[in-house]
């Protein structure tokens, strides 16, 4: 049916209307459409195009004319709604090189198309009211400011929890969301280790070590120095732990902080121990009896926390492997005898005592289907070169390990140096690359984990060998022990029960799952850093409402 609308005295530029007509031409239920100003020339064009309608006669040059062939009246109404929507201004997607700024929260929120995270660095006395305004608008707050009273902190955090929002801080120095550094933060690679911490140099030290060890960070959620106090009760900490447990980008959770108040400690570690993901808890100044208790690892130092986390999560280039139920075994094919012995000892610690290892076959460890084989053993080197020189002994066995559908992890050592094969990684990469491709083609997969024993000065170059392996799909850990522990962690993760914690509130899930749209309130430098990182960010040039005049502020509040 023919559908036409004349909007009197509505001028729009003709090029813009042509663009609009083209945009709407393939709208649902619209056969064809033309939108023009009703000049006599345009009316002739419309008539010439067969889009004649009685409305045309009444239209003048300053009237906007919409003529369309539509399926039904409803399609016509949708069309007009779309025209109105198109002609109504929308903020362009943020980005580009220019930091946009605003003088009010409303406008700032509008500029980024609905903000969901704010960085707050304004004088402490104004923080509470400003963060309440953020919570009103469903915006998470990262509060860098200090000098906020503990009663305000408690009130804000309680309210945030009710709204399914996070208040990070106050006095939160560092944080990271989806690789975007908040406030004082190091530039670290993205990865699968999620951190929760009071937020200061503790988090920074752990993040920096994770990065140095080849790992990466998904998020670092700062709490502020008082979150774990008896007064605040770890409100944000508990929210953060649960959120990271359900976050698809996070595989391992690290908790860093000073020792909590006793009651809070119990609750926090209770929740941490019940997470479906491995937890590393570094509570400074606290000595636990065991390294691992109630499924939580307790490192002694910040550096150790980073190391343990990388051993659990793998490096940032580690592939994520979806093991099937029947994939249960670690098969370790070593060229170095002592490295193999170390692997055997560590696996024994983790997987239970070895069975009757067959020394003659070079088995250093055998328990159920788990095996550690030293291919440098005399059994294998009789009449042929050592596998460090001739990799064929090992490569010949790799296909069989990969073929066995019960195998979960192929664990390897790569030994460099003078005398060793000039490119052991290259040889392995060719075989493993083909093998994995074959498995993938059959809908299967298997984890290949290795460490490189060598230095940058070695003829083969440790980093070059590592890259070669990684490109072939091998997870390369910083040491043999780390590789073994990671292999065990892969198995353990397969055994973990699906997430049982209560569902993460939608605003928090989205904060961790989608690019944040950030309002920076206060220190401009924080916004400029984020802009450089490609974030959607707007600067809110905050000033006290009504110039700080309390009387006027109260009137504005009352009249809002």
Partner 1 sequence: MATYDSIDEANAAVAQKIIDAQPRLVDVVPAKTVIPALEGRVVLHAGPPIAFEDMPDPVQGAAIGAALFEGWASDEASARQVCSEEVQFAPNNDFNAVGAMGGILSGNIPVFVVENGTDGNRAYTSMHEGEGKVLRFGVYDRSVGDHLVWMRDVLGAGLSEALKLFPDGGLAINPILAQGVAMGDDFHVRITAASSLLFRELAPKLARVGMPQEQLEPVLDFLSGNVNFFLTLGMAAGKATLDAAAGVHAGSVVTCMTRNGREFAIRVSGLGDRWFTGPEEKLDTLYFPGFSDADACPDCGDSAIIEAYGFGGLVAVAAPAVQQLVGTGEGGFADALATSEEQSEIVVADNPNMPIPNWDFHGVPVGIDIRKVVSTGIAPLITTAVMHKQAGIGMVGIGKVRASMPCFTSALEALAEARGVEPTG
Binding-site ranges for partner 1 (CB under 8 A): 8-13, 16, 60, 62, 84, 87-89, 91-92, 100-104, 106-107, 543, 545-547, 550-556, 558-560
By C-beta, is 90 or 442 nearer to partner 1? 90
Closest CA to 315 of 472, 210, 417: 210
CA 265/CA 121 separation, integer angstroms: 29
Nearer to partner 1, 13 or 356 (CB): 13
Are 515 and 373 in contact, with CB atoms under 8 Å apart? no
List of E strands, 399-531: 407-415, 447-453, 475-477, 517-522
Spatial separation of the C-alpha atoms in residues 504 and 243, rounded to whole Å:
6
Residue with smaller CB distance to partner 1, 64 or 238 = 64
Answer for the pair 462, 452: CB distance below 8 angstroms, yes or no.
yes
The nearest distance, CB 98 to partner 1, in angstroms, is: 9
Interior angle at CA 472, CA 468 and CA 478, nearest 5 = 60
Measured CA to CA, the distance from residue 526 to residue 513 in angstroms comes to 22
Min dist. Cβ of residue 19 to partner 1 (A):
11
Nearer to partner 1, 150 or 555 (CB): 555
User: Closer CB to partner 1, residue 77 or residue 514?
Assistant: 77
The CB-of-31 to partner 1 minimum distance in angstroms stands at 27
Q: How far is the CB of 5 from partner 1 (least distance, A)?
A: 15
363, two tokens = 């088995």
Beta strand 117-121 pairing with 140-143: parallel
DSSP string, 269-286: HHHHHTSSS-EEEEETT-
C-alpha span between 558 and 434 (Å, rounded): 71
Q: How far is CA 134 from CA 75, 159, 197, 505, in A?
A: 39, 11, 22, 17
Written as six digits, the tokens of 204 are 């920074």
Rounded CA-CA distance 476/465 in Å is 10
Shortest Å distance, C-beta 79 to partner 1? 17
Nearer Cβ to partner 1 (384/550): 550
Cβ-based nearer residue to partner 1, 360 or 551: 551
The CB-of-102 to partner 1 minimum distance in angstroms stands at 7
- Looking at residue 420, the DSSP 8-state letter turns out to be S
User: 389 and 404 in contact (C-beta within 8 Å)?
Assistant: no
Report, in Å, the least distance between residue 35 CB and partner 1.
14
Least separation in angstroms between CB 311 and partner 1: 50
Q: Which is nearer to partner 1, 15 or 441 (CB)?
A: 15
Q: Which is nearer to partner 1, 107 or 189 (CB)?
A: 107
- Closest listed residue to residue 332, CA positions, set 381, 284, 369: 369
The CB-of-108 to partner 1 minimum distance in angstroms stands at 9
């Amino acid at each position: 049916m023919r559908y036409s609308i004349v909007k009197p005295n509505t001028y729009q530029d003709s090029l813009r209307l042509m663009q609009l007509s083209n945009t709407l031409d393939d709208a649902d239920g619209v056969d064809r459409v033309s939108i023009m100003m009703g000049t006599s020339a345009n009316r002739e064009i419309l008539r010439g195009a067969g889009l004649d309608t009685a409305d045309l006669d009444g239209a003048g040059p300053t009237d906007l004319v919409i003529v369309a062939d539509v399926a039904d009246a409803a399609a016509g109404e949708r069309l007009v709604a779309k025209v109105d929507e198109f002609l109504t201004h929308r903020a362009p997607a943020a980005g580009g090189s220019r930091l946009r700024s605003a003088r009010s929260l409303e406008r700032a929120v509008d500029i980024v198309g609905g903000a969901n995270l704010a960085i707050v660095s304004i004088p402490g006395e104004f923080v509470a009211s400003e963060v309440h305004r953020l919570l009103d608008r469903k915006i998470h707050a990262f509060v860098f400011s200090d000098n906020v009273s503990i009663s305000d902190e408690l009130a804000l955090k309680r309210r945030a929890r009710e709204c399914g929002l996070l208040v990070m801080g106050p006095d939160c120095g560092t944080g990271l969301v989806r690789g975007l550094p908040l406030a004082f933060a190091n530039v670290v690679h993205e990865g699968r280790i999620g951190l929760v911490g009071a937020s200061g140099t503790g988090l920074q030290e752990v993040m920096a070590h994770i990065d140095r060890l080849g790992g990466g960070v998904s998020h670092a959620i700062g709490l502020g120095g008082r979150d774990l106090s008896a007064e605040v009760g770890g409100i944000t900490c508990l929210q953060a732990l649960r959120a990271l447990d359900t976050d698809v980008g996070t595989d391992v959770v690290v908790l860093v902080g000073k020792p909590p108040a006793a009651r809070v400690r119990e609750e926090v570690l209770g929740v941490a121990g019940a997470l479906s993901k491995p937890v590393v808890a570094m509570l400074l100044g606290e000595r636990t009896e065991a390294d691992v208790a109630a499924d939580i690892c307790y490192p002694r130092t910040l550096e150790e926390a980073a190391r343990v986390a990388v051993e659990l999560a793998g490096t940032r280039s580690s592939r994520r492997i979806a093991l099937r139920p029947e994939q249960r075994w670690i098969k370790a094919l070593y060229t170095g005898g002592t490295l193999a012995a170390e692997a055997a000892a560590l696996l024994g610690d983790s997987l239970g005592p070895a069975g009757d290892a067959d020394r003659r076959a070079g088995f250093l460890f055998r328990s159920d289907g788990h095996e550690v084989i030293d291919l440098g053993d005399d059994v294998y080197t009789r009449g042929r070169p050592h596998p460090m020189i001739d990799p064929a002994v090992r490569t010949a066995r790799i296909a069989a390990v990969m073929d066995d559908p019960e195998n979960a992890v192929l664990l390897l050592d790569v030994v460099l140096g003078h005398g060793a094969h000039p490119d052991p990684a290259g040889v392995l990469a060719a075989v493993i690359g083909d093998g994995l491709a074959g498995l993938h083609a059959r809908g299967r997969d298997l984890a290949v984990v290795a460490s490189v024993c060598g230095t940058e000065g070695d003829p083969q170059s440790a980093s070059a060998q590592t890259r070669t392996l990684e490109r072939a799909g091998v997870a390369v850990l910083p040491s043999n022990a780390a590789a073994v522990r990671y292999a065990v962690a892969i198995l353990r993760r397969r055994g973990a029960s699906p997430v049982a914690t209560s569902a993460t509130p939608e605003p928090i899930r989205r904060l961790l799952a989608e690019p944040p749209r950030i309002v920076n309130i206060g220190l401009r430098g924080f916004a400029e850093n984020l802009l450089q990182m490609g974030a959607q960010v707007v600067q809110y040039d905050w000033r006290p409402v009504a110039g700080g005049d309390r009387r006027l502020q109260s009137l504005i509040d009352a009249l809002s």
